[in-house]
């Protein structure tokens, strides 16, 4: 379906607003950044901003949606599609963490905001959970992942490994680790849920 020029312009403006917000939130902090500063950097009127976002907090939801969109793009990659289930899950989790690293404190705030708003608005991260649930179920059908555990419990562990590493880094402040920490956690999970074939 072809996108109209008007819709394309709207999407570009939304992307530019989020880009400016990310930059300012990272450098000044969320609390110390005003909507006026964001509109000035984006070179738009304040009224234009409110056509795209009702308030400053909604920018955090938009940033989360961008991160999730990046992960969903990965799923379309040909190399990803030819990988086994464990590799697919690993790639998704690593991409999610890699997207979080440049904006660590902002990501923490984004996660908190999306969680507390989940009762009224579906969290963008629920799309990641659904994607992982589908992959785990597929892995169980293919006998790559044990059926001794429910797919929902397995996905909770997977998402928990991401949250755990992220919040550990937030607690430590400047002494941030590397994606290898998440990879080790994922290896532990895969070791526990793997099907061992007996010849």
pLDDT digits (tens, 9 = 90+) for 56-84: 988 988 888 888 899 999 999 989 999 99
Please answer whether residues 57 and 116 qualify as being in contact, where contact means their C-beta atoms are separated by less than 8 angstroms.
no
- Choosing among 1.20.140.160, 3.40.50.10490, 1.10.10.10, 1.10.10.60, the CATH entry for 1-53 is 1.10.10.60
Residues 56-193, CATH architecture: Orthogonal Bundle (1.10)
Question: Among 42-46, 69-73, 174-178, which range has the highest average pLDDT?
Answer: 42-46
Q: Delimit the domains of the chain by residue range.
A: 1-53, 56-193
Is the confidence at residue 182, as pLDDT, over 80?
Answer: yes
Q: Is 144 left (phi over 0), alpha (psi -120 to 50) or beta?
A: alpha
Q: What percent of the chain has pLDDT over 90?
A: 59
Region 160-184: mean pLDDT is 85
117-162 per-position pLDDT tens digit? 665 567 788 899 999 999 999 999 999 999 999 999 999 999 999 9
Q: What percent of the chain has pLDDT over 70?
A: 93
């Amino acid at each position: 379906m072809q996108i109209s020029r008007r819709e394309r312009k709207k999407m570009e403006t939304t992307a530019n607003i989020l880009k400016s917000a990310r930059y300012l939130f990272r450098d000044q902090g969320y609390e110390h950044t005003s909507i006026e500063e964001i509109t000035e950097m984006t070179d738009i009127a304040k009224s234009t901003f409110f056509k795209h976002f009702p308030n400053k907090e909604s920018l955090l939801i938009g940033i989360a949606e961008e991160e999730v969109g990046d992960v969903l793009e990965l799923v379309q990659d040909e190399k990803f599609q030819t990988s086994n289930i464990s590799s697919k899950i690993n790639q998704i989790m690593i991409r999610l963490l890699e997207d979080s690293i440049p904006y660590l404190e902002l990501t923490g705030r984004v996660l908190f905001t999306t969680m507390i708003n989940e009762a009224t608005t579906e969290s963008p991260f629920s799309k990641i959970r659904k994607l992982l649930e589908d992959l785990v179920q597929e892995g169980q059908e293919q006998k790559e992942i044990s059926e001794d555990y429910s797919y929902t419990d397995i996905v909770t562990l997977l998402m928990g490994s991401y949250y755990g590493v992220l919040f550990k880094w937030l607690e430590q402040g400047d002494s941030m680790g590397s994606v290898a920490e998440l990879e080790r956690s994922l290896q532990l999970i895969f070791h526990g849920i793997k099907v061992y074939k007996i010849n």
